Chains A and B, each alone.
Chain A
């Protein structure tokens, strides 16, 4: 069989094995007998860090720059001991908040900001795309090398032929795998166990293949390390590789690369995926932190030997050092070994691409597409879970095709290592926001956005655009003269800095600007409440232990069924029903569907949604159904609780005592009001009693006198009888008015509002009181006449008011010289009447009391006059009821004017 066919067939077969493994892994997970709950599997899955870049590229780099290949492995090696602290904390945070991607992590930390999440996602795509392209390139190149050289015999000097189609097929196959095992459930925090199994397996394959070729080269082609190194040392060019002289950029570059690798092991999307999201048990980190460095050591053991062997064997330098791993076995006629090497490279590439695209698809769908979709409210009427999965699948396919495109346009002109390092420098831009974010509560959203933005701009300018320029996409003058001929903007010598190599230069400027802006803005920024809460959750994630107090407190109103319906839209109705039932059952809650959801349930729903659609979108969704304040006092108190226990305690105490004081004050006030009301009631009853007893006393006394004195003269008898009748009338009036007043004040009085003319009302009142005036010979002058004063009012009540005012006036007027006038009033405020008398007037100290109940200016003039002391009070209440105003103007000795005004508008009945 021709090699032309074997390589692709082996590729497909290998992927078939992966499928089977992943399927089995998922099956076991579904049965609850997880295969990945195992520190070894966890460590092996972390080895997804070693991509085809490691596999082929590190040999290439070692062949050119000797120890220059080491930083990529020294970085993770240095970082591993720190894992327990940094990674452990990140995992705890991610678990507590159901965080499923690095974009979500940053967005969540900084106040669940959708903008920040989208920004990070966009930058990740831009930054990591070259890396994906790199993998496609590696697979395509290795396959072509294999096919060409094995098929046609090894023809030295032939440049490897790049088959466009190979890379495309590889891309599509990988997309298929990622879709099948990466987007089966919606809740991304439910980990992809099958995928992890496959990745761990791949790590074994690539290690095995690499060790095989290393052993073969060292012990097959040479007589062990001594022989190999001895021969290399004899060559001055190769001896130079053992020193830093060969490293471009020297120590500075070496350290900056080490630093980049340290960041990459944590913040590359795929590393975040396997380290944080796929982590089954936090304790697995302990084993991983020594086991993973061992793996790295093993896979790097033969890098230098293979590189040196390649340089020695292909002494004319015609063979691409990136292909040494493959070409050395071919050169030696070990075709099957070459095939194994190819499979190892394939596994390195597929592992990376699969995890990377799954991680990216979660990000793109949760932090880029969904936030935009959710703006169109009509979208989420139906079950959205299917749609979200489709989006993710589309995203995976799109990403791989994009990677393919990038590879076609750029990748052919770049070495593997230089492409990869661009991506490393890109993800390093997230380091300040994340690391400061989990240790410094002061880091603010605007600071993080500013830092990441400026970091990426500098990165683009100093690394990405130059790589475009080097591949001919941009004019070369961009590099040599700077953009627009501005020398100080030269991408690889910004502000005239020429001390470093391009990578170190870019890392230096981008991270300096990134951190500087982040810290500077944060110091002067004012965080929102959500930001503060999130910051506290992240920074103090361990302090609260399992108390579960890590959610944002919702205090608004939402029913259980509405909440469930919302969650169902994103994770499916069955799943939502199960989750809610489980939650409610576990906490022994008794919740009807229509009951108000307790704050914890809302928080639970938000977490559930966060797993499915990301924290920012989840927050938007929850706030769309929760009516009312997002944050209550408890939320703020909890925030304080996290800032400092002591402050919180004293504040709570203070607050409690303040509340207590306030409550006491309120109680006192209420008590005083009650006492006042009680006193007024007593006084009223006492006064009514007095006012009733007085006429009753007179009636009884005279009745008894009439009874006991049969000898009384007829005139005297007549006089006493008149008194009895008058007092009885007075009693009746008093009873009526008391009842009237009680009715008005209790709101039981019926009001018949209609269109009335005050002129007519005045006339009727005058007619009704004519007798009173005549009796006392007081003159009454009607100055209203037929001046029309139309308004809406209760006709009978208004007549009662005018009668009361007239009888009041006549009571205080002197007989014979008394004069009472009734005038019309027409002002902006309304229309009304004025009753003016020339009586004694009212002293200033009494003028405000005339409308009080039973206030009677007791004066000899008032004796024996009809009047209960309630008349003016009733007038006042009636006018008030019409939204009008009544008052008195008076000068002692000259008389009083009682005036009322009523608004012209309609008074509701």
Chain B
């Protein structure tokens, strides 16, 4: 069973690049553009890992994160937050909301892929 990844970002070009990177690792990838769709997608099928943008229309990344952590059956989902607001306070907030890690935009594609692999317990590629 392939690793299931959910990409949540309202910037289409960034979503596109993330899709490319994850597919290349051999993961199964779904992509949505806002918070509500993200929660729908999780309810549909619980992913192994979510790449979650913070600044989005309709429920933002923090809210999505909180909603997921509120459900016992979704505790296993790993969440990496992507934030364009580089300030520490934003990152702290993300971790407090239940994110497992954060990545600041613009990000290094190699580092990002490595982070995802580490979190999933996969050997270094």
Q: Is the CB of B86 within 8 A of A694?
A: no
* Alpha-carbon separation in the docked complex, A689 to B10 (Å): 16
Q: Is the CB of B14 within 8 A of A701?
A: yes
* Alpha-carbon separation in the docked complex, A859 to B56 (Å): 10
A547 in the interface (beta carbon within 8 A)? no
Q: Is the CB of A690 within 8 A of B13?
A: no
Main secondary structure of the interface of A (DSSP, over half): helix
Interface bits A827-861 vs B (CB < 8 Å: 1, else 0): 00000000000000000000000000000001110
Interface stretch (choices A131-139, A351-359, A578-586, A704-712): A704-712
- What residues of A have a CB within 8 angstroms of the CB of B33 in the complex? 860, 863
Complex: chain B residue closest to A703, CB-CB? B109
Q: Is the CB of B24 within 8 A of A697?
A: no
Q: Is the CB of A690 within 8 A of B84?
A: yes
A699 in the interface (beta carbon within 8 A)? yes
Number of chain B residues whose Cβ lies closer than 8 Å to a Cβ of chain A:
25
- What residues of B have a CB within 8 angstroms of the CB of A693 in the complex? 84-86, 104-106
Q: Is the CB of A697 within 8 A of B107?
A: yes
- What residues of A have a CB within 8 angstroms of the CB of B20 in the complex? 705
- What residues of B have a CB within 8 angstroms of the CB of A708 in the complex? 109-110
Partner of B85, one of A689, A705, A726: A689
* Alpha-carbon separation in the docked complex, A690 to B104 (Å): 10
Q: Is the CB of B10 within 8 A of A686?
A: no
Q: Is the CB of A723 within 8 A of B107?
A: no
B54 CB to closest chain A CB (Å) equals: 9
Which A640-670 residues have a C-beta within 8 angstroms of B? Answer: none
Q: Is the CB of A698 within 8 A of B11?
A: yes
Number of chain A residues whose Cβ lies closer than 8 Å to a Cβ of chain B:
25
The answer to whether A704 and B10 touch (CB under 8 A), given A686-B87, A689-B84, A723-B16, is no
* Alpha-carbon separation in the docked complex, A723 to B87 (Å): 27
- What residues of B have a CB within 8 angstroms of the CB of A690 in the complex? 55, 84-85
A802 CB to closest chain B CB (Å) equals: 28
- What residues of B have a CB within 8 angstroms of the CB of A524 in the complex? none
Complex: chain B residue closest to A726, CB-CB? B13
Interface centre among A694, A708, A859, by most B CB within 10 Å?
A694
The answer to whether A704 and B109 touch (CB under 8 A), given A698-B13, A864-B12, is yes
The answer to whether A858 and B57 touch (CB under 8 A), given A696-B105, A696-B106, A704-B109, is yes
Q: Is the CB of B14 within 8 A of A698?
A: yes
Partner of A705, one of B21, B87, B107: B21
Q: Is the CB of A700 within 8 A of B106?
A: yes
Interface bits B1-20 vs A (CB < 8 Å: 1, else 0): 00000000011111011101
* Alpha-carbon separation in the docked complex, A426 to B33 (Å): 106
B108 in the interface (beta carbon within 8 A)? yes
A702 in the interface (beta carbon within 8 A)? yes
A727 in the interface (beta carbon within 8 A)? yes
Complex: chain B residue closest to A723, CB-CB? B13
Q: Is the CB of A698 within 8 A of B57?
A: no
* Alpha-carbon separation in the docked complex, A701 to B24 (Å): 14
A843 CB to closest chain B CB (Å) equals: 13
Q: Is the CB of B107 within 8 A of A701?
A: yes
- What residues of B have a CB within 8 angstroms of the CB of A698 in the complex? 11, 13-14, 17, 106
- What residues of A have a CB within 8 angstroms of the CB of B16 in the complex? 723
* Alpha-carbon separation in the docked complex, A704 to B14 (Å): 13
- What residues of A have a CB within 8 angstroms of the CB of B11 in the complex? 694, 697-698
- What residues of A have a CB within 8 angstroms of the CB of B107 in the complex? 697, 700-701
Interface centre among A686, A701, A864, by most B CB within 10 Å?
A701
* Alpha-carbon separation in the docked complex, A172 to B33 (Å): 117
Partner of B106, one of A686, A697, A863: A697
Q: Is the CB of B86 within 8 A of A689?
A: yes
A819 CB to closest chain B CB (Å) equals: 26
Which A699-749 residues have a C-beta within 8 angstroms of B? Answer: 699-702, 704-705, 708-709, 723, 726-727
Complex: chain A residue closest to B109, CB-CB? A704
Interface bits A852-886 vs B (CB < 8 Å: 1, else 0): 00000011100110000000000000000000000
* Alpha-carbon separation in the docked complex, A705 to B85 (Å): 23
Q: Is the CB of B14 within 8 A of A697?
A: yes
Complex: chain A residue closest to B15, CB-CB? A698
- What residues of A have a CB within 8 angstroms of the CB of B104 in the complex? 693
Which B80-125 residues have a C-beta within 8 angstroms of A? Answer: 84-87, 104-110
- What residues of A have a CB within 8 angstroms of the CB of B84 in the complex? 689-690, 693-694, 697
B113 CB to closest chain A CB (Å) equals: 10
* Alpha-carbon separation in the docked complex, A860 to B24 (Å): 27
Which B10-45 residues have a C-beta within 8 angstroms of A? Answer: 10-14, 16-18, 20-21, 24, 33
Q: Is the CB of B105 within 8 A of A704?
A: no
Partner of B24, one of A709, A727, A859: A709
* Alpha-carbon separation in the docked complex, A727 to B105 (Å): 14
Interface centre among B21, B84, B107, by most A CB within 10 Å?
B84
* Alpha-carbon separation in the docked complex, A690 to B105 (Å): 9
* Alpha-carbon separation in the docked complex, A863 to B9 (Å): 12
Complex: chain B residue closest to A858, CB-CB? B57
- What residues of A have a CB within 8 angstroms of the CB of B55 in the complex? 690
The answer to whether A863 and B17 touch (CB under 8 A), given A693-B84, A700-B106, is no
Interface bits B50-87 vs A (CB < 8 Å: 1, else 0): 00000101000000000000000000000000001111
- What residues of B have a CB within 8 angstroms of the CB of A696 in the complex? 105-106
The answer to whether A702 and B105 touch (CB under 8 A), given A686-B85, A860-B33, is no
A849 CB to closest chain B CB (Å) equals: 14
Partner of A863, one of B12, B21, B108: B12
Q: Is the CB of B105 within 8 A of A694?
A: yes
- What residues of B have a CB within 8 angstroms of the CB of A704 in the complex? 108-110
Complex: chain B residue closest to A682, CB-CB? B87
* Alpha-carbon separation in the docked complex, A859 to B109 (Å): 28
- What residues of A have a CB within 8 angstroms of the CB of B108 in the complex? 700, 704
A774 CB to closest chain B CB (Å) equals: 22
- What residues of A have a CB within 8 angstroms of the CB of B14 in the complex? 694, 697-698, 701
Complex: chain B residue closest to A864, CB-CB? B12
* Alpha-carbon separation in the docked complex, A491 to B108 (Å): 119
Complex: chain B residue closest to A691, CB-CB? B84
Complex: chain B residue closest to A693, CB-CB? B84
A135 CB to closest chain B CB (Å) equals: 102
* Alpha-carbon separation in the docked complex, A700 to B17 (Å): 10
* Alpha-carbon separation in the docked complex, A46 to B76 (Å): 117
- What residues of A have a CB within 8 angstroms of the CB of B86 in the complex? 689, 693
- What residues of B have a CB within 8 angstroms of the CB of A859 in the complex? 57
Interface centre among B33, B55, B110, by most A CB within 10 Å?
B55
- What residues of B have a CB within 8 angstroms of the CB of A700 in the complex? 106-109
* Alpha-carbon separation in the docked complex, A476 to B27 (Å): 138
* Alpha-carbon separation in the docked complex, A727 to B17 (Å): 13
A865 CB to closest chain B CB (Å) equals: 11
* Alpha-carbon separation in the docked complex, A704 to B10 (Å): 21
Q: Is the CB of A727 within 8 A of B13?
A: yes
- What residues of A have a CB within 8 angstroms of the CB of B110 in the complex? 704, 708
- What residues of A have a CB within 8 angstroms of the CB of B10 in the complex? 858, 863
Can you report 14 A-B residue pairs in the complex whose CB atoms are below 8 A from each other?
Answer: A686-B87, A689-B85, A693-B105, A694-B14, A697-B84, A698-B14, A698-B106, A699-B106, A701-B21, A701-B106, A702-B17, A709-B24, A726-B13, A858-B57
Not counting A696-B105, A697-B11, A864-B13, a sample of 18 additional A-B residue pairs whose C-beta atoms are within 8 angstroms of each other reads A689-B84, A689-B86, A690-B84, A693-B84, A693-B104, A693-B105, A693-B106, A697-B14, A698-B14, A700-B106, A700-B108, A701-B21, A702-B13, A705-B21, A708-B110, A709-B24, A858-B10, A863-B12
A-B interface, 9 closest residue pairs, ranked by CB to CB distance from nearest? A701-B17, A697-B105, A693-B84, A697-B106, A858-B57, A698-B13, A700-B106, A704-B109, A690-B84
